[in-house]
Structure 1
């Protein structure tokens, strides 16, 4: 099952429209439509936020339940192959690069959450 099909399935299970999910993710309805029709692949930050909003494990969105994309903080062979189908030049050069990317993504997510809280607090005043 494709990523888009899974997003649609989980969204519909929550009885949300594409607009509902778009509002929760701070994107347009067109973005959700493009993801669900597999015309667009969300970036890692949007994918992470989407998994949280839909209350599913990110691995459930990206792969069959039996095939996790990461084990012990290392990308599985099938995950690399799945990405390569969209970007054939994708190549992780070293474990250090992978760890650095993951750490940066975590930091960006924390910064975005802090920014959101700050904006919410400012709006309350």
Structure 2
């Protein structure tokens, strides 16, 4: 299945209309319709927001496909860079770092409580 088809299937499974999901994403219904029809591809930020709202992860939406990421170039314009499934590895690394940071904070707070 394509990215658009995956989004449409997950959205329908949650009982959300295009209008409701588009409103939650702060995009137009036409934009979401184009994504679901594979006429356009969401950038990684929008893809992450879609995944969160649909209680899924980006990997399930991508299904081995290519996603485009907005990449500001030095001239201030927007270029596009292809990301092929390395996206999930980067996200996992970020989540793992956040978990380690939270674990360290929890340990620190527990120590402070013991000292009190």
TM-score of the two chains, using structure 2 as the length reference: 0.57
Superposition CA RMSD, Å: 3.0
Contact 2:3 2:61 in 1 (8 A): yes
Residues 55 and 83 of structure 1: is their aligned pair in 2 closer, same or farther, counting only changes over 3 Å?
A: closer
Bigger relative contact order, structure 1 or 2, given CA contacts below 8 A and separation 6+? 2
Given the alignment of the two structures, is residue 42 of structure 1 paired with residue 42 of structure 2, yes or no? yes
Structure 2: gaps (5+ residues): 69-79, 84-89, 95-116
Q: Which consecutive segments of 4 or more residues in structure 1 shift more than 3 A?
A: 89-92
Q: Which is higher, the Rg of structure 1 or of structure 2?
A: 2
Bigger proportion of residues as strand: 2
TM-score of the two chains, using structure 1 as the length reference: 0.53
C-alpha displacement at 1:20, in angstroms? 0.5
Structure 1: gaps (5+ residues): 65-78, 93-98, 104-125
